Amino acid sequence: MAISRRDAIGLTGSALAGLSFGNLDAAALQAPSGPWPDTLVERPLREGFPAPLPLNADGSAPEHPAGAAGPISDPLMWRTPDRQTPEIEFDYRKMAIKVDPRGLGRLGGTLRFEHLEKLPRATHTFLLQCGAPNPRGIVTWSGVRFSDFADMLGLVPGVHYCRFIASDRMYVDEPLDTLRHPQVLLAWMMNGAPIPPRHGAPLRLIIPFRYGNRSIKAITEILFGTPSLPMPPLPA
């Protein structure tokens, strides 16, 4: 039985959120032969997991020169039956993203590019590294700082978490303290061009000091809450 990286993350929870499962042998995800052991036993570790994530001493991501930017290696998979990119509006100039502050912010409704366009532009070059050796790549991302976006919404101090839901219903929850780090972006440009659909158009979250699966692709909904939010329905 094959299982995608995103499916595995959805099944196992945040404890394994830093790992990438795209290249796992199916046998590694199955029970040992014979009856399930009735006590804890030694099990083999998954070779190569997690891949090193180089960070600065303060936990931030190293900035790379723009000239080092290039493609992201395969495999890239989605939480869809065929593991392909869901069909949505990919043009960032036509984005329409649901923003629900749930009474915890002054602004809510549908986020459009004209709203982000008013905010200060930010461009940074970071390594995107998944838990597995691949996918990975040094990428120049352009967009806005999430902190500026949050300030635009007028969030109240009581907001603790934000949930991002992607076009394939993959989602991540992040504390506001993490998202307000100056390196965290909402990006629509990749290496000087609009983000391609397979890499998360029209809008992607970039958290360069976390593994790549936390930089969720193709955002369709942004919700705020305290202390946590209910799980969204999975696709049929």
pLDDT digits (tens, 9 = 90+) for 190-234: 999 999 999 999 999 999 999 999 999 999 999 999 876 666 777
Q: Does residue 77 carry a pLDDT above 90?
A: no
Q: Does residue 104 carry a pLDDT above 80?
A: yes
pLDDT 10s digits, 177-192: 999 999 999 999 999 9
CA 152/CA 222 separation, integer angstroms: 14
| This prediction's pTM | 0.81
Per the rule left: phi > 0, alpha: psi between -120 and 50, beta: everything else, 83 is left
Secondary-structure class of domain 5-32+39-225 per CATH: alpha beta
Distances in whole angstroms, Cα of residue 212 to Cα of each of 137, 204, 207: 10, 11, 8
The structure tokens 């990975």 sit at 136
Question: 74: which residues sit within 8 A by CB, 6+ positions away?
Answer: 134, 135
Asked if residue 227 has a cis previous peptide bond (ω within 30° of 0), the answer is yes
| Structure confidence at residue 1 as a pLDDT band (50, 70, 90) | very low
